Amino acid sequence: MLRVRCLRGGSRGAEAAHYIGSQLGRSFTGWVQRTFQSTQAAAASQNSCAVDDHKATAPVPEDCPVSSYNEWDPLEEVIVGRAENAWVPPFSVEVKANTYEKNWEFYQKFGGQSFPRDHLKKAIAEIEEMCNILKMEGVIVKRPEPIDWSVKYKTPDFESTGMYAAMPRDILLVVGNEIIEAPMAWRARFFEYRAYRPVIKDYFHRGAKWTTAPKPTMADELYDQDYPIRSVQDRHKLAAQGKFVTTEFEPCFDAADFIRAGRDIFVQRSQVTNNSGIEWMRRHLAPEYRVHTLSFKDPNPMHIDATLNIIGPGLVLSNPDRPCHQIEFFKKAGWTVIYPPLPLIPDDHPLWMSSKWLSMNVLMLDEKRVMVDVNETPIQKMFENLGISTIKVNIRHANSLGGGFHCWTCDIRRRGTLQSYLD
């Protein structure tokens, strides 16, 4: 287990809202102010579902719409993302550091434009079918709002177009009865939370706890503008030295760099999650939860769930191409470490934001059911040998946008209780 440095930080959200609103113009001022008003209301409100500081171990009331402690309890309700109107992010320094050089020409050509529309159409159809299958399995499905991501916006520190609301796992982390909105680290994702606000406000009004992490300015100082990447070898060297494109100028993190196992939550320092972001989460969740920092032999760390995926109590998938430096931590705790087989996704299939290891980015519906890609027969056999039934779904075109089943979802409610699996 690694320890992170303690850093001081704060937020001046209301002041920033006023200033951003004035810069964006009257048409945007209203929703910026409403956004911060709803955030302030969430922080100030006392409700029957919130965990009292003096009763941190109390169970979540049965009528709370939000309750999830791990990645494998029986899934009852989930948010599934949208590919509609998905926009290629501008080819800025943080995007370049998170993408492979074979895709740089794509970003240089299409940055600030729509993803290929025929491809998007197929991805949308795949996700609709995925939603239908989840419903047939008895899961309630919620969706973010469709938004025009082509709209250019400007803050005092940068300007950008948007990206998408395809991957709720990236921006939302559910811990118990609390929904935590991640601050994000890409400028193209600064306003991504807007697509999720209607559904989150509904959960809040029904009793859930709602927290927004301090929003970074995403000023130039947050990024190493001279981050020296030219090859995979460069990336390996920099990662081994603990050097990333994001600095420690202010806290930032994506929710998908965290993965839950009851009282223990695991995180990696990555290109989008810095140490001060991890420290904010550690303090926010203490003492009820323990946040452990892991590291991997990974030339391009961004989101933990295609590198390490916890699929059951004491059962963890570990990417054989990106070995975990702290894997003995799990073994000493009596956990079973499983190395998934090589993925089958063809070399010529576009993966603009990810690697082929989305094959292990699976969604557990419970301990004995898993949603897995219909094309990935080796990992299907692996699960079946473990006594886990596979629900096969095709999301190959949706994979191209940067996520598998785990990324495309955020589990809102799982039937279970808070437990410790490492003591």
Would you tell me how many other CB atoms lie within 10 Å of the CB of residue 97?
A: 20
| Catalytic annotation, pick one of 73, 170, 254, 366 | 254
Verify whether residue 254 is a known catalytic residue: yes
In this structure, what token pair is assigned to residue 136? 């047939």
Tell me the CB-side half-sphere exposure of residue 351, using CA atoms within 13 A: 19
| Catalytic annotation, pick one of 64, 407, 410, 411 | 407
Cα separation, 50 vs 69, in Å, equals 15
| Catalytic annotation, pick one of 64, 131, 303, 397 | 303
Would you tell me how many other CB atoms lie within 10 Å of the CB of residue 314?
A: 14
Cα separation, 363 vs 68, in Å, equals 14
The owner of tokens 């100030």 is 44
For residue 148, give the amino acid letter: D
Catalytic residues: 254, 303, 407
